[in-house]
Amino acid sequence: MKDTYKAVEVSAPGVLRVVERKISEPGAGQVRIRVEACGICHTDAATVTGTYPGLTLPRVPGHEVIGRIEALGAGVSRWKIGQRVGVGLIAGEDGVCESCRRGDMVNCQNPVVLGVTVDGGYAEVVIAEARGLASIPDELGSAEAAPLLCAGITTYNALRNAGLRGGDLVAVQGIGGLGHLGIQFARQMGFHTVAIGRGGEKEQLAKDLGAHVYIDTAVDDSAASLQRMGGARAILATAPSGDAMGPLVSGLAARGKLIVVGVPQDPMQLSALPLVFGGRSVYGSLTGTAIETEDALAFSVLENVRPMIETVPLEEAADAYARMMHGQARFRMVLVTKYGTAQSAPVN
């Protein structure tokens, strides 16, 4: 077998280049994965630009990795050679910090962060911690499963952990990489689903994804529109615009929640009045554990939730990343290696 593999690394801030690397053996508690597909996420920008705190270059980005195990490190018994698995952003926890000791592994103070603290999935091979793996259902192709390891689990967990009930009015701000999945999850979880976007051309897509109602912010005030419907029990904020997120608080019902999953570069402006009078709240939600990722994948299979993807060869990672950053992807770019299959999935 060939003793090298192809990878796309950040050699300097803003520079992605294709290189050949030597294949290494997994250490204790690790596995080696032959990558079939890896999604491109906006969070990858922190690696590509070299701005993630403590990052050292060169580094291979990518944290939506699907592939098959080809080697097991010492002590790994839960997983088998040939098994198809996935690895997300939080690819392992230290198990000893206060967050971990309290069962909050997602907020581990010293996590293994795929594509940041260790090399990620813009490559044909990845070494991963066995404790960070998720099993991939047979019903999902590798390319369509990849975005579910980040955008999927992020929106799924944010909604299912919000204390909502079937029939509650739930709005999803943004119809992009996160939002188009959030709309599907909200509808399939039984919520009265409202999509918030800009432009009348997005209305049909929003309804195809499952939205009962579409609010066009170019025409209507989203907060006022939500209040006319009785106020939202929750608003999932996915479009990375602090300027757009802040005013949404006024669209919440009493005790309603603005859940931020998209990370804007500009600050959010908040008025204290609707927060205090009505007991409304604003908080963030970040990804999930490996077992929660398996929950999200199982739910996606059960309710036919799928990402809209475009697949490109690994070697074209730089161009695909640029398309994503310029908002030209619809809606998730996925790198596919020669070991994977380039398949996209239809929308419900």
Which pLDDT value is given to residue 343? Answer: 42
* Positions of E strands within 118-190: 125-129, 133-135, 169-173
Summarize pLDDT for 204-252 with one digit per residue, the tens.
999 999 999 999 999 999 999 999 999 999 999 999 899 999 999 999 9
Summarize pLDDT for 109-163 with one digit per residue, the tens.
999 999 999 999 999 999 999 999 999 999 999 999 999 999 999 999 999 999 9
Lowest mean pLDDT of 72-76, 275-279, 340-344, name the range. 340-344
Mean pLDDT of the chain: 95
CATH 3.90.180.10 maps onto the chain at: 4-150+288-336
Q: List Cβ neighbours of 319 (8 Å cut-off, separation of 6 or more).
A: 312
Which pLDDT value is given to residue 341? Answer: 55
* DSSP secondary structure of 263-278: --SSPPP--HHHHHTT
Query: Is the pLDDT at 16 greater than 70, yes or no?
Result: yes
Are β-strands 252-260 and 15-22 bridged in parallel, bridged antiparallel, or unpaired?
unpaired
Q: Indicate the class that CATH gives domain 4-150+288-336.
A: alpha beta
- Tell which residue, 30, 87, 78, 115, has the closest CA to residue 287: 87
- Total number of residues shown for the chain: 348
Radius of gyration for the chain, computed over Cα atoms and rounded to the nearest angstrom: 20
- CATH code of the domain made up of 153-284: 3.40.50.720
- Tell which residue, 145, 119, 122, has the closest CA to residue 134: 145
- What's the average model confidence in pLDDT over 170-187? 97
- Tell which residue, 108, 45, 49, has the closest CA to residue 287: 108
- What's the average model confidence in pLDDT over 61-90? 98
* DSSP secondary structure of 38-90: EEE-GGGHHHHTT-STT--SSB-----EEEEEEEE-TT--S--TT-EEEE-SB
Summarize pLDDT for 18-32 with one digit per residue, the tens.
999 999 999 999 999
Summarize pLDDT for 284-322 with one digit per residue, the tens.
999 999 999 999 999 999 999 999 999 999 999 999 999
Distance CA 77, CA 84 (A): 15
Q: How far is CA 271 from CA 114, 246, 277, 282, in A?
A: 37, 8, 11, 11
Query: Is the pLDDT at 47 greater than 90, yes or no?
Result: yes
- Apex CA 57: angle with CA 54 and CA 59, to 5°? 100
CATH 3.40.50.720 maps onto the chain at: 153-284
- Residues 327, 283: contact at Cβ < 8 Å? no
Summarize pLDDT for 253-294 with one digit per residue, the tens.
999 999 999 999 899 999 999 999 999 999 999 999 999 999
Distance CA 222, CA 196 (A): 7
